[in-house]
Amino acid sequence: MTDHGFETLALHAGQEPDPLTGSVVPPIYQVSTYAQDGVGGLRNGYEYSRSGNPTRHALEQCLAALEAGTDGFAFASGLAAEDTLLRAVCAPGDHVVIPDDAYGGTYRLFAAVMSRWGVEWTSARLSDVESVRAAMRPNTRVLWVETPTNPLLNIADIAALADVAHAGGALLAVDNTFASPYLQQPLTLGADVVVHSTTKYIGGHSDVIGGALVAATPELAEKLGYHQNAMGAVAGPFDAWITLRGVKTLPVRMDRHCANAAAVVELLQRHRRVTQVFYPGLPDHPNHDVAARQMSQFGGMVSFRVEGGEEAAVEVVNSARLFTLAESLGGVESLIEHPGRMTHASAAGSPLEVPGDLVRLSVGLETIDDLLADLEQALSH
Ligand SMILES: Cc1ncc(COP(=O)(O)O)c(C=O)c1O
């Protein structure tokens, strides 16, 4: 199917009508084990649902097609996917370079968990290729990229960082959660593996937690598949099914997320109480050129700083009515949060701490005038 367009792949890759019944969507194979035709006589390779499940395979094949990779792997959460990747490719004594504004949970995984198992890390400003090069060590095994980053929406040049990683003998892993494969395909820019919290844009409806890895090569895919089974943090059949249902509309949702976000940015830019707007689509964003080169649109996430410091930012967040005060992002409904006290609280006091006056928006699919009116009133308190 690889010669088809993105929308076609979202609807059909891995989703042939069920051979038994013709069901046009993959059924939920809510099953743990499979009858064998004599010892070792597996039907279509299915043996036990941790090792493989048809509903999960449908999602995995679809994600692999959308990210232009060889194989996809679906997990119980984005962090489970990250953990599996790291334990598949790193060993004690290895070193990893991570973004200096990584997602808080990713930072915690490195700082509080992986470090206890002997994996060292350094944070670097990924928008500055030279400082990433300087952070590389002879034992660097992975260069970990988020772009756009969460919550400051910094942009990293994936192709340039692939060169840095490969020159140092490391893998380039790109967390593509914020952009989704509809806006950006890191494997086509030289990355070795893509990471997703499918909880966000891929699932898209705030109703399931999930994660995914997509490998660029069969060699890496084999390692990831081995560890997915050996570690066991797989996506369950229902979670895989509902995530795949979300994937089908990813292209049309992303188009509207991007259009609504652009209108929100316009309002924020001219608002007297907003001191800074973070959005890669702005011509004065420091890496706007890179974003324009590697993304087809600029995404649905917007962050901004509010005049009056942390308390003022908290008040804005508390005053929003249509924007729901909640963690997470990428769902059809708009969300607002205070990163310093919510998603990024675990980075407090570290080099990854975020400004106290920062507000983050996940701009959803509501009527744009309603969203703008809500922001106006939240900022007027
Ligand atoms: C960029 C990014 N990566 C990874 C994760 C972790 O994913 P999950 O919450 O599905 O474990 C998140 C969660 O917010 C995220 O925003």
Q: How confident is the model over 276-335, as pLDDT tens digits?
A: 999 999 999 999 999 999 999 999 999 999 999 999 999 999 999 999 999 999 999 999
| Nearest ligand 1 atom to alpha carbon 327 | 14
Apex 294 CA angle, 265 and 338, nearest 5 = 40
Q: Is the CB of residue 148 below 6 angstroms from any atom belonging to ligand 1? A: no
Q: Distance between CA atoms of 74 and 57, rounded to whole angstroms?
A: 8
Strands 120-124 and 95-99: parallel
Q: Distance between CA atoms of 360 and 372, rounded to whole angstroms?
A: 15
Q: Is the CB of residue 330 below 6 angstroms from any atom belonging to ligand 1? A: no
Closest CA to 336 of 300, 368, 381: 300
Residue with CA nearest ligand 1 atom 7 = 78
Q: Distance between CA atoms of 258 and 363, rounded to whole angstroms?
A: 8
Please give the positions annotated as active site. Answer: 50, 103, 175, 200
Ligand 1 centroid, distance to 132 Cα (angstroms): 23
Number of Cβ within 10 Å of residue 378's Cβ equals: 21
- Cβ contact 370:344 at 8 Å: no
Ligand 1 centroid, distance to 76 Cα (angstroms): 12
Mean pLDDT, 10 residues at a time, over the chain (381 residues)? Answer: 91 95 97 96 96 98 98 98 98 96 89 96 95 98 96 96 98 98 98 98 98 98 98 98 98 98 98 98 97 98 97 98 97 97 84 90 98 98 85
Ligand 1 centroid, distance to 105 Cα (angstroms): 7
Q: For the whole model, what pTM was predicted?
A: 0.97
The residue whose two tokens read 């797989």 is: 234
Q: Is the CB of residue 208 below 6 angstroms from any atom belonging to ligand 1? A: no
- Cβ contact 164:134 at 8 Å: no
- Cβ contact 235:81 at 8 Å: no
Mutation pick for ligand 1 pocket among 177, 301, 346 (CB with most ligand atoms within 8 Å): 177
- Cβ contact 193:171 at 8 Å: yes
Q: Distance between CA atoms of 211 and 203, rounded to whole angstroms?
A: 10
Q: Is the CB of residue 362 below 6 angstroms from any atom belonging to ligand 1? A: no
Q: Is the CB of residue 78 below 6 angstroms from any atom belonging to ligand 1? A: yes
The residue whose two tokens read 């652009």 is: 262
The residue whose two tokens read 């997990």 is: 75
Q: What is the pLDDT of residue 11?
A: 98
Closest CA to 227 of 346, 98, 71, 110: 71
Q: Is the CB of residue 180 below 6 angstroms from any atom belonging to ligand 1? A: no
Residue 129 token pair? 């290729």
| Exposed/middle/buried for residue 122 (C-beta within 10 Å: 0-12, 13-18, 19+) | middle
Q: Is the CB of residue 53 below 6 angstroms from any atom belonging to ligand 1? A: no
Number of Cβ within 10 Å of residue 318's Cβ equals: 12
Ligand 1 centroid, distance to 103 Cα (angstroms): 7
Q: What is the pLDDT of residue 361?
A: 98
Alpha-carbon radius of gyration of the chain: 21
Amino acid at 211: G
The residue whose two tokens read 């973070």 is: 278
| Nearest ligand 1 atom to alpha carbon 198 | 10
Q: Name the H helices within the chain.
A: 6-12, 54-66, 78-89, 104-108, 129-135, 158-167, 180-183, 218-231, 237-247, 250-269, 288-294, 309-319, 368-379
Q: What is the pLDDT of residue 343?
A: 84
Number of Cβ within 10 Å of residue 185's Cβ equals: 24
Closest CA to 241 of 14, 19, 37: 14
Residue with CA nearest ligand 1 atom 9 = 78
Q: Distance between CA atoms of 355 and 290, rounded to whole angstroms?
A: 24
